[in-house]
Each structure stands twice: as C-alpha cells, then as structure tokens.
Chains A and B, each alone.
Chain A
Amino acid sequence: MSALLDIEDLRVTFGGTAAVRGISLTVEKGETHCLVGESGCGKSVTSLAVMGLLAKGGKRDAARLSFAGDDIRDYNEAQMSRLRGDRMAMIFQEPMTSLNPAYTVGSQMTEVLRRHRGTPRAQAVDRAVELLTRVGITAPGLRLGQFPHQLSGGLRQRVMIAMALMCDPELLIADEPTTALDVTVQAQILRLLAELQKDLGLGILLITHDLGIVARVADRVSVMYAGEVVESAPTAELFRAPRHPYTRGLLSCVPVPGKVKRDEPLGSIPGVVPRIPPGFTGCAFRDRCSFAEAACAGTLPRRNVGPAHEMLCVLPEGVPA
C-alpha cells in the first residue's frame, strides 16, 4: 500500500533562492513524521508546497507528490480545494494573523464543514464546540461568538488547530503548532492528536523546534538544512545514534536519549543558514562544519547508515560516536 503522503525530489525556488532542494519523505497513515532544523532552512516552504499554498513567486517541482495514492502535482486550484480543509489540513506558523479579523471564530470554524460536507449550521456549531473543548478551550460557546482580536495568541493557535480538525482530515500538516501554548495545554493537544491517530489513522507532518516534542511524539524524524534533508531516521535511532555533523550540532545539548527536557531549544551552531542560489553544488553546511574536507564541495552521496537511517554527507559512517 502506498504512503499517505509521498514526496520525492521536491524543489521550490523563489527567484534566485533555492528554498527547497530535492526533498524526499513519506508520511504513513497513523504516523507522525517530524521535520526539524534551524529557522530559514525551508521547513515552512516544504509544507506550503505540499498544500499548494506557496506565496507568489514560489515555483514548485517534484518527481513525485502523491496523496493517498493520487498524483497531485498537476492538480488545479479547484481540485486542490476539494482536498484542502477536508482530507488534508494545515496549521500555520502564524497564529496571530491567520484568522480573518472580520468574522467570528464560529463563522470561520463552521464554514469548513459547511463547504465540504454541507453540514447544517447547528450541527457544524456543535462540532466546533466539541473541538474547541478538546483543544482545552473553556467556555467554547462564548469563544465562538468572539472575533480574533478578542483572543490571545494561544487561544488563536488553538482555534486554528481545532479548525484544521473540523473535517477529520487524513493528513495534518502542523507548522510549529504549539509555540504559543503553555506546557499543560501543549500536552493536551499532543494527546488529542495521538488519539486521532489511534482512532482515525491521522497522518501528521509535524514541524517543531522542540526536541522534547520530537522525542515524545515522532515516529520518524527528518533533519533539514538549507533546503535538504540531511539525515532521516526513526526517532529512537536518531536520538541514539545521530550521524550527520549538523544533527550532532542540533542535538549537542541533549546527548542522552530519553532524557530530553521539555522546551529544549535546538542546539546552537555558530553561523547562520546560508541563502542558496539554484545550481549550487556540494554541502551547504561546509562553512560551518568542523569535519569539512575538499570532497564536501562535490556531489554528496546519500547513504544508509543504520536501519531505515539515511544521511547526506561525505563521511562514510558520519560523525564517530
């Protein structure tokens, strides 16, 4: 059976910037695939490219982009709109600006259900109340009648999460969905997502900075750097034996697997993610890598370094343990 989401060699350019440079990854039914990496390495662009929601000027190209077995590369806006919100949903990184200031929370939540299912208003409202309750919002009836500007950032983020779940999607793409939330609420939302995975087989592509969350919920982790996946492995394997120098850098402050602290930020590596022009060859990390050698400027091999464990680096076994 094919994966729920199957991406192969996805590329996105914005004029003279190659934001995503040949990413391949899959999300299975019921699986959580985490995408990690420093700010600016192309995580959001990857998720927007999958949804077909790139900003103006973004050009997408892929060897494969299939959802539930259907090739969606050439889907037009009308075909995508039938999938979006219904079978594939997205939570954006920007909770403050992602709700329409002119409409109430209730109106914005119910219109998804009305659009895709033709659900009568009253029932759609019931569903909205149910989901607001499940994301930990007290007095959901009151919130439904309020406008976005009357809600805090955390509340707006939870509304966005609830709204994405209105139609019981098969795939949820969540771009740093819990950044504005306190730990208890965050735990409640992760529990909710886990339940939905168990009950409905929801597949999740989760972008997060929080290694604690990764350790807790991810089945598989892909580490992104400058538009590429530099290392990908099952979660336990990645935490146990990170091989890529960049992954090492990220994990440097959490050396012991299973002892990851909450809200642990990604390890900081000196330097910043460079802007990559199209046609760039070699390792984009070489200016910051302490293992860099001459071969790093050539074409890099992608190789297996463990069970379902892939890495993009010239070092045959990666960084020694």
Chain B
Amino acid sequence: MLHFLRRRLPVAIRVALTVLTLSFLLTRLSGDLAISIAGPNASQEDIELIRSAYGLDRPLWVQYFDWLWRALQGDFGDSYFFKTRVARLIMERMPITMTLGLCGLFIALCVALPLGILAAVRENTWVDRSVLMVALIGQAMPSFWLGLILMVVLGLNLGWLPISGTGSWEHYVMPSIVLSFSAIPSLMRLTRSGMIEALASDYIRTARAKGLSRLSILVKHGFRNAAIPVVAIAAVQLGFMLGGSIVIETVFALHGVGYLAWESISKNDFPVVQAVVLVLALIYIGLTLLSDLLNAVLDPRLRSA
C-alpha cells in the first residue's frame, strides 16, 4: 500500500503543479490584467497605479512564484466584486457543492448498481434491453433541460419541492437528481459488464458448486469483484459532477461553488474564477488518486503488489 502511494503520489503532484501553472498562464495570456481590473473608463495613470499596486509590473516569473507560493497556502487574493478574501468565499460555498455532489453520487449509485446487476443477471432479455435503453436516454438528456422539466413538474405543477434557493434540504433534492443522471449511465454500464464477466467466471461456478445462497453468489462473490472498477469510476465521476454543478447550481440558484463561478464569470471577477477552476481541478486530481487507492484497497492482487 505504501509502495503504491509512493508511486502514485508524485504523479498526482506533478499534474497538480501543471494545472497551477496553466491556470496562472491563462489569466496572464488573456490580456492585460491591469486594464481589465481598472475598467473601461480608467485613465492611463490609473492603469499604471493598479499595475504597480497589484505587482503586475514585476517580471512574469517573479509574479508566478509569488502567486504559486500564496496559492499553495490557500491565499487566492481578494475578490474584485465581493470585496472579501477569495479563499473565504470558496470555503463558504464548498460545503453546498460537496453536499450536492455527494447526494448526486449517492442517488446515482442507488439507481445504477441494482439496475446494472439486474441487467447482467437477465442478460439479453427485455429487462436488460430496457435498462440499457434507459441508460441511453439518460445520457442523451442535457442536464439543464432535465432540470427545467423537474422544476415545472415537481416544483410548479405538483408543488412538492422548492424550485430555487439554498435554504433547506428540500432545495437539494431536484439538483441532486439532475446531477445523478449524468453519472448513472456509465456507472450502470460498468456494473453490468463487470457482473456479466464475474457471473461467467469459474469462481462463480465454484460458489454455486458450494451450494451458497443466490444472494451470496450474486453479491458476495459476483458483485464484490465487479465493484472494483465501479467504485474507482465513482470517485472520478464525483469529480465530473462537481464540475457539472456549475450548470445545475445556476439553473436551481443553489449558492454553491458552481453558482459562484457563474457569478464571477459574468462579473469579470478574475481571482474568483481562477480559484474556483483551480480548486475544482485539484479536487479532481485528488479524487483520481483516491480512485487508484480504492482500487488497490479493494483488489487484493494490487494491495500486495
């Protein structure tokens, strides 16, 4: 296990550094920062003042290391629009996005795993085909569109759930459902193919030869092996879902990090946009590492490697 970490951790760190560097370069390459900060009506003197105040007159590499050093300490500067520390903004919003992502993943797993197992057990029957069809439809449906449909039906027509805002747990229900849809098809297909492979294996035949119960054969012996890639992908999917929250939080006006990203993009609030993208990217890298670790934890053959 330690050996495994020693191999994977440096890779993750290199990727993270690359993301940090790219993120820095993108803001510098997208035009003169001092001009965009100063705004359209600023005079040349104002711009020069801002340039030196923000340290933008220093050589690029000095700026880079200065920025990197601060970023590594969680200091992303001040928001132009909210007039507070960017780090604080993100800290405030992150729990909302995390809750949304985890709820979405939870719902996705609750739907995808049983359906995937069912499809595998009933391989090539109408059950299997219906399940695959549902997966196809789920994948083809844009999330903002599904979000709007749910709002109209569950929110406006039936009045069961609030259609926007952040106040209570009920505000998370619809966004989580919509978010889960993006993860369900791939998780389900992976569960199905893993189960089909497992069920055709010799060790399942052994489990049957031992007279074990149907549940033990399917879940303990079959799913236990099919689950290894599914769990790993689920961690990666959570990363995708956090990214996808930008659209969904905007649709449902759920004030998480995704909503923050949308607000700051429309307000030209550079440091916030940059920090949100960076934080999401780092979380994604972390989840990929976690996914590898989960793989190693679940697969005894990797564990001792």
Contacts A147-B300, A147-B301 given; does A99 touch B210 at CB 8 Å: no
A116: B residues at CB distance < 8 A:
211
When the two chains form their complex, are residues A149 and B300 in contact, meaning their CB atoms are under 8 A apart? yes
Shortest beta-carbon distance from A319 to chain B in Å: 39
Which range holds the interface residue count of chain A? 20 to 34
Q: How far is the CB of B216 from chain A (nearest CB, A)?
A: 8
The 7 closest A-B pairs by CB, nearest first: A85-B211, A85-B210, A84-B211, A97-B202, A100-B203, A147-B300, A81-B211
Taking beta carbons and an 8 Å cutoff, which residues of A are in contact with B?
Answer: 51, 53, 55-56, 77-78, 80-86, 89-90, 92, 94, 97-103, 111-112, 115-116, 147, 149-150, 160, 163
Once A101-B225, A102-B300, A150-B304 are accepted as A-B contacts, the answer to whether A84 and B206 lie under 8 Å apart by CB is no
Secondary structure call for the A interface: mixed
A–B pairs, 22, beta carbons within 8 Å: A55-B200, A81-B213, A81-B214, A82-B211, A83-B211, A84-B211, A85-B209, A89-B209, A97-B201, A98-B202, A98-B206, A99-B203, A100-B206, A101-B300, A102-B221, A102-B224, A111-B212, A112-B212, A115-B210, A115-B213, A150-B304, A160-B206
Decide yes or no whether B128 CB sits under 8 A from chain A: no
Q: Does B205 contact A (CB under 8 A)?
A: yes
Chain A contacts of B225 at CB under 8 A?
100-102
Distance to closest chain A CB from B208 (angstroms): 6
Neighbouring B residues of A53 by C-beta, 8 Å: 205, 208-209
Cα of A320 to Cα of B209 in the assembled complex, Å: 44
- Per-residue 0/1 for B173-203: is the Cβ within 8 Å of any A Cβ (1 yes, 0 no)? 0000000000000000000000000001111
A14 CB to closest chain B CB (Å) equals 14
When C-beta atoms are compared, the residue in chain B nearest to A115 turns out to be B212
Contacts of B216 in A (CB 8 A): 111, 115
Distance from B207 Cβ to chain A, minimum over Cβ atoms (Å) = 7
The reply on B263 being an interface residue by CB < 8 A is: no
Please list the residues of chain B having a beta carbon within 8 angstroms of any beta carbon in chain A: 200-203, 205-214, 216, 221, 224-225, 298-301, 304
5 new A-B contacts at CB < 8 Å, known A84-B211, A102-B225, A116-B211: A53-B209, A84-B208, A98-B202, A115-B216, A147-B304
CB of B221 within 8 A of CB of A100, answer yes
Which B residues are CB-close (under 8 A) to A97?
Answer: 201-203
Contacting pair B304 A92 (CB below 8 A) = no
Within the assembled complex, what's the spacing in Å between the Cα atoms of A102 and B221?
A: 8
Given A84, A111, A150, which contacts B209 in the complex, CB threshold below 8 Å?
Answer: A84
Question: Is there an interface contact between B301 and A101, defined as CB atoms closer than 8 Å?
Answer: yes
A102 CA / B216 CA spacing, docked (Å):
14
Count of A-B contacts judged by CB separation below 8 Å: 81
Bound Cα distance from A101 to B206, whole angstroms? 12
Q: B123 — nearest CB in chain A belongs to which residue?
A: A56
Nearest CB of chain A from residue B107's CB, rounded to whole Å: 27
Q: Which residues of B contact A103 (CB under 8 A)?
A: 221, 224
Q: Is the CB of A101 within 8 A of B211?
A: no
Give complex CA distance A53, B217 in Å: 13
Name the contact of B203 in the complex, choosing from A90, A101, A115, A147 (C-beta under 8 A).
Answer: A101
| B209 proximity list for chain A (CB < 8 A) | 51, 53, 84-85, 89-90, 92
Are A84 and B300 also in contact (CB < 8 A) when A97-B203, A98-B202, A98-B203 are?
A: no
Contact of A81 among B203, B208, B300, B301 (CB under 8 A): B208
Residues of A within 8 Å of B300, CB to CB, are 101-102, 147, 149
**What residues of chain A lie closer than 8 Å to B200, measured between beta carbons?**
55-56
CB distance from A206 to the nearest CB of B (A): 16
**Docked pose: A160 CA to B205 CA in angstroms:** 13
Q: State the Cβ distance, A68 to closest chain B Cβ, in Å.
A: 15
Cross-chain contact of A112 among B205, B210, B224, B304 (Cβ < 8 A): B210
Q: Least Cβ distance of B224 to chain A in Å?
A: 5
Q: Looking across the interface, which residue of chain B has its beta carbon closest to that of A82?
A: B211
User: Which residue of chain A lies nearest to B217 when distances are taken between CB atoms in the complex?
Assistant: A81
Taken together as a complex, chains A and B put the C-alpha atoms of A230 and B202 apart, in Å, by 30
A92 and B205 contacting across the interface, CB-CB below 8 Å:
yes
| Shortest CB distance B300–A (Å) | 4
A98 to B200, CA, bound (A): 11
Q: Which residues of A contact B208 (CB under 8 A)?
A: 53, 81, 84
Inter-chain CA distance A81–B214, complex, in Å, is: 9
